[in-house]
Amino acid sequence: MNILILNGPNLNMLGIREPEVYGNKSYKDLEEYILSLESEYPIKTDTKQTNYEGILIDLIQFANDNYDAVILNAGAFTHYSYGIYDAIKSVNIPVVEVHLSDITQREEFRKTSVIKDACVNTFMGFGFESYKKGIEELLKGRENDDC
Ligand code: DQA
């Protein structure tokens, strides 16, 4: 399965940004962690990060023709971007929402995900492992498709 892993605004600041929330590991560490999952699961991944909403929308649309699925950590766009919600609804491939932190246990504004209903599932609060759970979900979905 070819999976595009997308990370939104400020995720490039991992390790520097609020380590008490997001941990001490860097964005490069996250990329390496995701790459290491390629030896554990039948997947090929490309991992990208952007601080720009429009680029995230372009990448979701691009994935439709070039990948089997998307794992999306939309960062703060999660909480207010109907443009990203519409982009996810526009594509025919599954999109899994992930977050490092548990957004339901943080500030009030983070408790709402406006993209949630467009995604096949959400994994949050497991740090880097949220991405792994997202991959497992996609592989499970593919097995069910084959039945
Ligand atoms: C985040 C949670 C968001 O609320 C926040 O804006 C982020 C990261 C997470 O991975 O926990 O940038 O998506």
1-49: pLDDT as tens digits: 999 999 999 999 999 999 999 999 999 999 999 999 999 999 999 999 9
CA 66–ligand 1 middle distance (angstroms): 26
Q: What is the total count of domains within the chain?
A: 1
**Burial level of 127, CB count in 10 A (0-12/13-18/19+)?**
middle
Task: Judge whether 99 counts as a catalytic residue.
Answer: yes
DSSP SS3 for 53: helix
- Nearest CA, atom 1, ligand 1: 75
Whole-prediction pTM = 0.96
The domain that contains 26 carries what CATH number?
A: 3.40.50.9100
pLDDT range class, residue 143, cuts 50, 70, 90: confident
Residues spanned by the domain of 138: 2-143
Pocket test for ligand 1, best of 73, 77, 124 (most atoms within 8 A of CB): 73
Helices marked H in the chain: 19-22, 27-36, 53-66, 82-90, 129-146
What is the pLDDT at residue 2? 98
Task: Judge whether 80 counts as a catalytic residue.
Answer: no
What is the pLDDT at residue 36? 98
How confident is the model over 62-79, as pLDDT tens digits? Answer: 999 999 999 999 999 999
Q: Is 101 in the pocket of ligand 1 (CB under 6 A)?
A: yes
